[in-house]
Amino acid sequence: MAFKVLARDKHSLARVGKLITRSGSVETPFFMPVATKTAVKHVSPEMLEAMGVNATISNSFVLSLRPGASVVKKLGGIRALSSYKGVMFTDSGGFQMYSPSLYKGSTDKGVEFKNPYSGERIFMTPEQNMQLQLDLGSDVAMCFDTMPLIAHSKEAVSLAVTRTTNWACRCKETHDALQKKISKKKRQLLFGIVQGGIHDDLRRVSAEALTQLDFDGFSIGGLALGEAKEDEYRMIEVCQGYLPRNKPVYLMGAGNPVELLEAIERGCDMFDSRFPTMNARHGNIFSWKGKYIVTNAEYKTSLKPLDEGCACMVCKRYSRAYICHLIRNEEGVGYQLASYHNLYFLQELMRRVRKAIRAGKFKEFKKKFIREYEGR
Amino acid sequence: MAFKVLARDKHSLARVGKLITRSGSVETPFFMPVATKTAVKHVSPEMLEAMGVNATISNSFVLSLRPGASVVKKLGGIRALSSYKGVMFTDSGGFQMYSPSLYKGSTDKGVEFKNPYSGERIFMTPEQNMQLQLDLGSDVAMCFDTMPLIAHSKEAVSLAVTRTTNWACRCKETHDALQKKISKKKRQLLFGIVQGGIHDDLRRVSAEALTQLDFDGFSIGGLALGEAKEDEYRMIEVCQGYLPRNKPVYLMGAGNPVELLEAIERGCDMFDSRFPTMNARHGNIFSWKGKYIVTNAEYKTSLKPLDEGCACMVCKRYSRAYICHLIRNEEGVGYQLASYHNLYFLQELMRRVRKAIRAGKFKEFKKKFIREYEGR
């Protein structure tokens, strides 16, 4: 079993669990920073470890372009490359279908990408993507999916669901075959990805189909893309109605603190997003009293820490004035300190969530957090 | 006394000393990283402290533009702004006369700059610059000088020397007056800057004139700008012939390891340069076996540390392959790790130099280092 439930909230689907991988365990719910090329922007592996980040997610397709799968394989995988000690996820590359510099088109067979460095065309099948993620040596791999956008017609979303299901079968089959000779404890985990846009019936079709396959966990993809929050939360509820309760559920792309709590309440166990680090680089700071923009003029002379309620290394030492000054001047150290704080904030939020669930106080915790964070 | 000599080499002018400032002492010879806006590029204050960097240099003119002298003064100075615990130098801004986006022109009275953010014209006199550096609260200030370029005519260099001398008198007088009421232990130190291009006679004129003023130390400016190394070293020798031996000598802008050793042999005590960090960002790595380019293809699969002879945090953990990959992808973490290593390398070099001087073995140390570094 790759997942154990350790505690359940009595009033919601919120739960504390443990994701068990060949490289260690991570308590759920957890948030993982995005390390597309095996490094989080401006935050080094030892900084991640210092703040208690136990998992990151990299992108298999992007890594296949540079430094290349053969280079990573020769090194011994992305852990040997980066020396990061936590659990390493890889995404498949389905998301890159929305990168105009990379994506050329797709068929039922697979996806045509362009290598932006060499101009070379690359045709990637689900089977090849499984081999790629195994070569990269991540602990948890994602199926190669077709992600529709919220703006797409229902017909297009429906076709994407069909293709995602079809590819999920091919991924699972290939992945099982490739790992046949590896002992169970050393196996890479594989998650299926549910698509379906904001259509209840398509989410149901997708979730039901994937549940037929014995994945180690299930991801909910194609959300947190700018759709209305009520649509996002309803879609989570629909998916949860069909996904098995003994498997971990990963809401992809979510990183807004309130969104995480809403998703946890609806049974989600893990999250990733560029949201905290991208926000940090723009001076948008998470705090227990809400998000604010540290580059605003009012903070130029503030000797207060980024967040008076925060115990992170940055808040213990640096002022808003310094970080305001550095980010206004596009200094790397400014990005580093603000990113560190925002990531720490989500780690601490997840620690408090797990504690609250264990104490049977998740609902109260959530209510209080949102009231203070949103200033209501 | 702001300077004490602790040990002298018997065969050269090399010496170990102590620079004593209101914020602490630093053993010489030392190298200080450039923190133009109070932050070294990609390397945070606590990282500098971790590697034993006891001094940095910021730029008073650049800080006067953003966040502005009044903001820094209100905060309590650049130390309060940055929280850096080492000794903080400020340069005057004379160097910005070669920044086309900033410099408009100069007269005997002062320099006209343009604020690139507001378009506003700023006229800065030596007197105002002294007030500025006191407002910023650095521990060691530099005179406002006029730096000629190596390519300038001898006549132009001569005029720059005359103006630099004139301004040095005005700086000293203003600085003394402004600090009259401050107890000696709390005073900011002031260094005069010798100019004169690569002309022996002009360097002599400049050094002799400045020596008449009771500066706390003397800087040699206008070198390490691309002139022939023999010219640079000869100019140091000329200056040293006239500068007092009981005051510290600061060779501005030097950061090449071999250059530092040659300058130390000729009696220089302190150095600053963007060289180690700028090189790092381009993948140029210092090692005890010479400089090399870690982004070269041969390092893509090297699991060796940046330098097998280095004990820095980066070399203890990360591989050439990782840093090669990150810098090729313009990742901030790559710049951070390579910059950390290069700065640590110079700190370690200075530690070994001080040890060698104390042990009476500077010449041997220098010879061995250069042989191995230059692969001769």
Q: In this structure, is residue A376 part of a structural domain? A: no
To the nearest whole Å, the CA of A310 is away from the closest chain B CA by 18
ipTM reported for the complex, 2 dp: 0.97
Q: Is A222 on the interface with B (CB under 8 A)?
A: no
User: How far apart, in Å, are the Cα atoms of B316 and each of B44, B281, B307?
Assistant: 19, 20, 10
Q: Which domain holds residue A347?
A: 274-366
Shared-domain flag, residues A14 and A138 = yes
Number of domains in chain B: 2
Residue of B nearest to A85 (CA): B317
From CA A258, how far away is CA A370, in angstroms rounded? 6
Q: In this structure, is residue A373 part of a structural domain? A: no
* CATH number of domain containing B85: 3.20.20.105
From CA B247, how far away is CA B269, in angstroms rounded? 10
A75-125 confidence digits (pLDDT tens): 999 999 999 999 999 999 877 878 888 888 899 999 999 999 999 999 999
User: For residue A376, what pLDDT is reported?
Assistant: 65
Provide block-wise average pLDDT over 10 residues at a time, chain A (376 residues).
95 98 98 98 98 98 96 98 98 83 91 92 96 98 92 94 97 98 95 97 98 98 95 98 98 98 98 98 98 98 98 98 98 98 98 98 98 89
**Domain closes at, from A221, A250, A273:** A273
User: For residue B1, what pLDDT is reported?
Assistant: 75
Which residues from chain A sit within 8 angstroms of residue B50, using beta carbons? none
User: For residue A148, what pLDDT is reported?
Assistant: 86
- Catalytic residue numbers of A read 91, 272
User: For residue B148, what pLDDT is reported?
Assistant: 86
By the 8 A CB rule, do A217 and A247 touch? yes
A278-330 confidence digits (pLDDT tens): 999 999 999 999 999 999 999 999 999 999 999 999 999 999 999 999 999 99
**Domain closes at, from B232, B250, B273:** B273
Shared-domain flag, residues B297 and B184 = no
Shared-domain flag, residues A255 and A303 = no
Shared-domain flag, residues A33 and A75 = yes
- Catalytic residue numbers of B read 91, 272
By the 8 A CB rule, do B148 and B156 touch? yes
pTM beyond 0.90 = yes
Q: In this structure, is residue A374 part of a structural domain? A: no
Shared-domain flag, residues B181 and B89 = yes
Residue B97's contacts (CB-CB under 8 Å, 6 or more residues apart) are: B103, B106, B111, B146, B147
Within 10 angstroms of residue B231's Cβ, the number of other Cβ atoms is 15
Q: In this structure, is residue A264 part of a structural domain? A: yes
Q: Is A58 on the interface with B (CB under 8 A)?
A: no
User: For residue B107, what pLDDT is reported?
Assistant: 93
Facing A326 at nearest CB: one of B39, B301, B333: B39
Residue of A nearest to B297 (CA): A67
Q: Is B304 on the interface with A (CB under 8 A)?
A: no
Shared-domain flag, residues B337 and B256 = no
Shared-domain flag, residues A336 and A259 = no
Are the beta carbons of A41 and B332 separated by less than 8 Å? yes
**Domain closes at, from A254, A273, A292:** A273
Spell out, as residue ranges, where chain B has pLDDT lower than 70.
376
Residue B315's contacts (CB-CB under 8 Å, 6 or more residues apart) are: B305, B306, B307, B308, B341
